[in-house]
Structure 1
């Protein structure tokens, strides 16, 4: 079968959540937005639910609806984008909790779904989503009268423990929320690793669950194994792939593998990335094309039937470094053409 296999290790996923939960001085939720960071939100969330997760976060209401259909009643599902125009019916029907980001969203929610659960997102300096301090001061008492389920903000630089933005945002969050009898949440994966001062009542890890930085102790969750279609011998001076970007400097054996940017293997990785044939590291040669990639197996002890792009030998962040991006993009780019295999099966 000339289709790459994407393996998702649900035991590793649960192990990562348990490790982050043990580091959290509070309840630990799970972020499963973007289809569980590309790995299948339904399967990911069910495994986490069985492990004890009771609160999940998604980006938009339609993601929340799909997650509710998968999990059934019970777990709290919060929506980062809040109560957008057109969301009222789906929020009510699927029992979702919007994180309200503005006065407009607050008015919409209170008018259309009076008494329905909600949280409030506060902007402590990231300038992305949430109410800024002056806006929050103006509406705080009205919001508190309605009984918010959570007050939250998001750290901009938590992957850098020494960044001055971290204590700045912590201080701002405290100024905006201290003394209020409402559960609070500030930290995703990076914030958990900053320590208990950042944990408050709820942490909400995302990328660390899926094996990504900055959680360096994370077990790998995603594995990508790609079949070899053809082997050819290339003489010195011959080129491989589009644009003649790689030229053989010695007699070389090149394997063509069945993967490419249509599978979410980022085109930019070509000049710097490797795959593994067993324990042997093999350089990608030439450009990553839509469906095919060339690799140099000249020094491999055996001719491989498949090679590993992601897994035990290299993480999503290794591939991300080769592409000049971050592990989040690698995970969420993984395409729909893979034969998906979940462990345990």
Structure 2
């Protein structure tokens, strides 16, 4: 990897006391009803991070290259403006500063910490039959245990864009594959991806299930789904891990996907073309996942007509995929007709 850099830490940093000066309430919002600050007692207030975006330590303690390691190099290769891009080699050094970070999350009253575990740390060679990195398991053991000690519930994502680099060919060129939809190639279409991801997921779930109440298999899968087979591999590997957790581990928590794709509403509800654009968008970007996983229904026609290499689902597939989303939380977007 070009321009590789290391951070300043090489061992876990003990947390320092949180100075009272750091605990400053935000200023009040003028003309805002006071009632809007009230949440139900069971509201899940937390914060989200991702291994590739915060950990750094990209070559430490057994971690091997992941797709995000090549993003900046890829951007340079196509002549994109990289002035605002940073490589993930150092990030915020959360890999060594996680106790400091969790201490501060707890100090402001956050009860949930959603983070991702790095597949290339747990399985440096990515695929079944290769060694498990016990040092990586011990690291996440300590992170999870420290969060629980501080009253923070861990929410674990199995992959947040950081697919092992071998699934994209091991270099930046693998990202430069024009997608049929989605954003870029994260290796999900690779023939070996599904079994490899399920193998990795089973290792992590079996090790941490006693302490983790909420599991996310994929973060924003549409970002890395560039073909029909990639969608097929994502939904089937998710369902396999859901059933492993519920049926084999007898897990009592939740297993879901962070979809990321916002359901759309027509910008002008009375305009038929805007309504048609909205339906097409929702069917293509959301129905391709939620139809089979939430409803046990076949892909929408818009998806099958647009993605010509889609993989058909059998009735047995649909029965297995059905109701494997433990929860779903959307945002909304407004669409115009030119999105068709």
Q: Same fold (TM over 0.5)?
A: no
TM superposition score category, shorter chain reference: 0.3 to 0.5
Larger Rg: 1
The answer to which structure, 1 or 2, has the higher relative contact order (CA under 8 A, 6+ apart) is: 1
TM-score computed with the length of structure 1 as normaliser: 0.34
Indicate the structure with greater helix content: 2
TM-score computed with the length of structure 2 as normaliser: 0.35
Indicate the structure with greater strand content: 1
